[in-house]
Structure 1
Amino acid sequence: MKELYEIVSAYDRALQLGEQTALATVVQVEGSSYRRAGARMLVTDSGNITGAISGGCLEGDALRKARMAMHQQKPVLVTYDTTDDDDARFGVGLGCNGIIHILIEPINSGQPNNPVDFFKRFLSKRRPAVLLTVFNTEDRHAPQYGTCLIFDKVGGNTGALPADTISEAILVDAAHVLDNGNSATKTYYYQNNYTCFIELLQPAVALVIAGAGNDAIPLVQMAKLLGWQVTVVDGRANYATSLRFPQADKLVVAKPAEVTALVPADERTVFMLMTHNYNYDTALLRCLLPLQLNYIGILGPKKRLNRMLDEIMPGCSVPNHLFGPAGLDTGSENAEEIALAILAEIQAVLNKRNAAHLKTKPVIHDRAEQKNRV
């Protein structure tokens, strides 16, 4: 979500300066690529770029095409076929061995429900949403409708699908994506062959760090680098201060029993307990265990955690969402290395990955396209 925040901020700055903008979005990938579908960058007519659609090899060419799209005020679909060994003919030297479809949309600030308006709507709420982008890979002269609708279970639909698409089928599939948590790309065959990128947008991770010691400082800094929302909680007012944690989004001085009321949690909220105070950690863990959290991390040896659990729920096994000692086994020693190991573990848990070496996987991302004939 960090990229979306940055794109929105860059768009607002460009608007103030009277600059034109265009949004480039990776909408479909066949084979390998550096970024997958959903990667974006905002381009201004002065040449400023925010975000990324590749490892740096496509941005220059996409900038030129974005300026053309701004001039024509018409969305355009650009395809880079890097499966050809002689990819130097693109002048970008890719070598990714994949086919990458990028939709470039000029953004009209006077047009309601433009892509950035959708981003702002999503970012203003802490709930999952689905964003729909419609394009046509089979006929590039056909209208490329672009980012046209967003919806969630509470706010409903905003925007509209093109009239000549299978709207009902697309919305059914979009609801399925929202329920199951995986983005999808589907082609719908009916009169015009449209492809719809059905993208799941998830709120930023909300990391609650219980413990305002010195070892929490790099954890806050690294989490903010990832674009996470960070709250620091401690019972000591002289520790949980903005001077010590200038990057924290929220500072809370509270007793353990007060924390859950002061820091509301949702499915994207994770807790890291590292106060180094056994009684505080135990009391807070007692409050957290009944909650539907995906991750609770505990700093310290396993013996300490087992003792805490024996006090809270004697005879019970360690819950699956409780991780102690927290962090991946990376041989970490100092506070910065431990912070890295903890954040990597949280990322793996939330993405339902086992944190194995990528070299052991035949495919990193499953990008099988689904097609519906209606």
Structure 2
Amino acid sequence: MKELKDIIRAYDEAQQQGKQTALATVVHLEGSAYRRPGARMLVTEDGQLTGAISGGCLEGDALRKAQLVIVQKKPMLVTYDTTDEDDAKLGVGLGCNGIISILIEPISADDQLNPIGFIKTILEKRQSAVLVTLFSMDKKTVQPGTCMLVTEEGSIKTSLEGGLLRNTLVDDAQVAIRNKKSVTKEYEVENLLTGFVELISPAVSLIIFGAGNDTLPLVQIASVLGWETTVVDGRPNYATLQRFPLASRILISKPENAISQLTFDANTVAVLMTHNYNYDIAALKHLLPLQLPYIGALGPKKKLDRMIDELIEQGILINEETIADLYGPTGLDIGAETADEIALSIVSEIKAVLSKRPGSSLRSKVETIHPRETQKVIPSSITV
């Protein structure tokens, strides 16, 4: 999500300066690569880059092709094949052993349904949405490009006219939202088209109860990742904008009052680190019914166990599923000692939990980092 925000910011600056732009998007991948489908990079006519489509290997070549796209004003599909061991002949030296397809689209400010406009709509609200990008592996064919946006609340924006293809894409987008999973499908129209039906979820919303010094690096690291952070504390001299300039929001409040002022969804997590037992247990009491995917508690495990026991004595229903989402002590075991290291361990654990990963060393992983089934192209049943 941070990459998308950076791209929008760079696009707006380019518009103010009268610069033309193009958007490069990884739309398909076979094998392995540094970035996955959905990675994006904005290119200005004078060569400024925002975002990334690789680890730095493809950007130079993609820049030249993007500048051509800007001049020609039509989308281009570019494929980089690094499955050959001697990928030096590509001039990019990837060494990734994959086939990467990148769609480069010119951005016209006059077109209200351009990809940047779709992305801006997504960023307006905290909701999941699907972007549909159509492309053809036959590079001689006109590339349709990013053509549809479907939001979680049911809003549809599209450059496609009504018909079977449009209706099918809407249905596929809604399925992707329900399944919380992107998909790539083939559509037999006049020519065979591939559709990247991409689910884009809201940024992680991290709510931190506690505005002590150890919260400072946690907010900073979360900000680097593009997470939205809210700092909640009852002490007005601690919870200040001067201390937390990178926080999205600061609330000076008791826990029970703060909860009613916050919005919670599937990407919302919380960490208790006030160093005040009574404040932490009051916050935990109001967080538990919300069934957040992650609630972390700073401090020893016996502290969390004591809070749970006390809440049960108060009649709060706490079952095994609820306890499974509680993490105390919060953070991964990386040997953290300083506040900065502890913040790193907390953020790492949250990321692992939300990604449904164990948080272990990649060298211990037997299978590939990314499951190959996510690269499958599913044939569509429609023929137009």
- For 2:113 and 2:166, the matched residues in 1 are separated by 18
Per the alignment, residue 380 of structure 2 pairs with 372
- For 2:161 and 2:355, the matched residues in 1 are separated by 33
Per the alignment, residue 222 of structure 1 pairs with 221
Of the structure 1 ranges 56-65 and 321-330, higher mean CA displacement relative to structure 2 is found in 321-330
SS of equivalent residue, structure 1 residue 209: strand
SS of equivalent residue, structure 2 residue 289: coil
Question: Which of 329, 335, 347 pairs up with 1:343?
Answer: 347
CA gap 1:316/1:185 in 2 versus in 1, 3 angstroms: closer
CA drift of 1:284 comes to: 0.8
- For 1:372 and 1:243, the matched residues in 2 are separated by 54
Counting only pairs closer than 5 Å after superposition, residues 189-268 of structure 1 correspond to structure 2 as 189-268=188-267
Per the alignment, residue 180 of structure 1 pairs with 179
Of the structure 1 ranges 257-266 and 198-207, higher mean CA displacement relative to structure 2 is found in 257-266
Per the alignment, residue 310 of structure 1 pairs with 309
State whether residues 165 and 192 of structure 1, in contact with CA within 8 Å, keep that contact through their aligned partners in structure 2. Answer: no
TM-score (ref. length: structure 2): 0.94
- For 1:34 and 1:97, the matched residues in 2 are separated by 10
Matched AA of 1:2:
K
Per the alignment, residue 66 of structure 2 pairs with 66
State whether residues 219 and 340 of structure 1, in contact with CA within 8 Å, keep that contact through their aligned partners in structure 2. Answer: yes
Per the alignment, residue 335 of structure 2 pairs with 331
- For 1:49 and 1:204, the matched residues in 2 are separated by 22
CA drift of 1:370 comes to: 2.1
Per the alignment, residue 52 of structure 1 pairs with 52
CA drift of 1:155 comes to: 4.3
State whether residues 145 and 162 of structure 1, in contact with CA within 8 Å, keep that contact through their aligned partners in structure 2. Answer: no
CA RMSD of aligned residues (A): 1.5
State whether residues 150 and 170 of structure 2, in contact with CA within 8 Å, keep that contact through their aligned partners in structure 1. Answer: no
1:281 has 2:288 as partner: no
CA drift of 1:172 comes to: 2.2
State whether residues 221 and 247 of structure 1, in contact with CA within 8 Å, keep that contact through their aligned partners in structure 2. Answer: yes
Matched AA of 2:151:
D
Q: Identity, % of aligned pairs?
A: 54
- For 1:20 and 1:191, the matched residues in 2 are separated by 31
Q: Deviations over 1:93-133 (max 9, x none)?
A: 11110000000000000011101100110000100000000
Counting only pairs closer than 5 Å after superposition, residues 354-365 of structure 1 correspond to structure 2 as 354-359=358-363, 360-365=365-370
Q: Deviations over 1:2-39 (max 9, x none)?
A: 00000000000000111010000000000000000000
State whether residues 113 and 159 of structure 2, in contact with CA within 8 Å, keep that contact through their aligned partners in structure 1. Answer: no
- For 2:246 and 2:178, the matched residues in 1 are separated by 33
CA drift of 1:322 comes to: 1.2
- For 2:360 and 2:171, the matched residues in 1 are separated by 34
CA gap 1:182/1:109 in 2 versus in 1, 3 angstroms: same
Q: Deviations over 1:206-260 (max 9, x none)?
A: 1111001110010000000000111111011111011211111111110121111
Per the alignment, residue 146 of structure 2 pairs with 147
Structure 1: tracts of 5 or more residues without a match: none
CA drift of 1:160 comes to: 3.3
CA drift of 1:165 comes to: 7.0
Q: Deviations over 1:55-92 (max 9, x none)?
A: 00000000000000111000000000000122112211
- For 2:162 and 2:62, the matched residues in 1 are separated by 29
Matched AA of 1:371:
P
SS of equivalent residue, structure 2 residue 235: coil
Per the alignment, residue 118 of structure 1 pairs with 118
- For 1:73 and 1:146, the matched residues in 2 are separated by 12
State whether residues 305 and 324 of structure 1, in contact with CA within 8 Å, keep that contact through their aligned partners in structure 2. Answer: yes
CA drift of 1:164 comes to: 8.1
